[in-house]
């Protein structure tokens, strides 16, 4: 799997290079700003990208804007945002563009290398991997879908956003897989997601939830 990284911190960028290489990934390019990132995506057409949020020159939201531009350049490009910050406006656009293959992890909350690698694999496979803290910050506004869901359904949907499968959700919530399946069916119904294209409904449910 070929990866392009945009990270302006040289030490962290090198660490990501070593981590990914030792985990079986191929790093096609590592760059430090948005312009170089878009050029690398156009040249290498990677399988996924890892993007920091705050990049030169203003260190505000250049990374997320670059991720959106990269997905226009390579439709459906899986993007894992890896940052210290939650950038709400453009991040919401990224997470809700309906193409799937998105993740948002906070640097100071990733405790294990295996967790990071698992998240990258999920995103590259078209799924989601979103830190619960990111979800909570982005759902401060516009809670209409939350009003339709029960407390348990919200817990299930948040677990889905983190990329957990039904068995993992059942273990986390100490319920049966059958109960999880029922809750997910209720979530699909309340978010008006039709049975068609069922393979992507989990991703669409998470994106609809975050876009509300």
Element (H, E) at 39: helix 34-44
Domain 1-138 has CATH 3.40.50.2300: yes
Burial of 148 (0-12, 13-18, 19+ CB in 10 A): middle
pLDDT number for residue 51:
96
CA distance 5 to 1: 13
Domain with CATH 1.10.10.10 in the chain: 142-212
* Side-by-side strand order, sheet with 79-83: 26-31, 2-6, 48-51, 79-83, 102-106, 128-130
pLDDT in tens, 104-146: 999 988 888 999 999 999 999 988 888 888 877 766 554 556 6
Non-local (6+) Cβ contacts of 72 within 8 A are: none
Q: Which residue has the tokens 């906070």?
A: 106
pLDDT number for residue 133:
82
CA of residue 143 relative to chain centroid, distance: 20
Task: Kindly indicate the confidence band of residue 174, based on its pLDDT and cuts at 50, 70 and 90.
Answer: very high
For 142-212, CATH number out of 1.10.10.10, 1.10.10.60, 2.30.29.30, 3.30.70.890 equals 1.10.10.10
DSSP assignment of 99-160 equals: ---EEEEEGGG---HHHHHHHHHHHHTT-EEE-HHHHHHHTSS--HHHHHS-HHHHHHHHHH
pLDDT in tens, 25-83: 999 999 999 999 999 999 999 999 999 998 988 888 889 889 999 999 999 899 999 99
The β-bridge partners of 92 are none
Domain with CATH 3.40.50.2300 in the chain: 1-138
């Amino acid at each position: 799997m070929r990866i392009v990284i945009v990270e302006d911190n040289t030490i962290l960028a090198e660490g990501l290079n070593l981590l990914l290489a030792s985990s079986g990934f191929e790093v096609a390019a590592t760059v430090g700003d948005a312009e170089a990132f878009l050029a690398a995506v156009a040249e290498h057409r990677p399988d996924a990208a890892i993007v920091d949020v705050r990049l030169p020159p203003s260190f505000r939201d250049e990374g997320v804007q670059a991720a959106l531009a990269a997905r226009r350049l390579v439709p459906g490009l899986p993007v894992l945002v890896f940052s210290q910050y939650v950038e709400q406006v453009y991040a919401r656009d990224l997470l809700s563009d309906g193409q799937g293959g998105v993740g948002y992890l906070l640097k100071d909350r990733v405790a294990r290398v295996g967790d990071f690698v698992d998240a990258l694999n999920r995103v590259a496979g078209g799924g989601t991997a979103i830190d619960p803290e990111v979800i909570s910050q982005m759902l401060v506004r516009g809670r209409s879908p939350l009003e339709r869901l029960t407390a348990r359904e919200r817990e299930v949907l948040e677990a889905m956003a983190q990329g957990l499968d039904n068995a993992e959700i059942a273990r986390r919530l100490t319920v049966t897989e059958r109960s999880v399946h029922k809750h997910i069916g209720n979530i699909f119904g309340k978010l008006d997601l039709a049975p068609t294209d069922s393979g992507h409904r989990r991703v669409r449910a998470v994106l609809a939830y975050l876009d509300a």
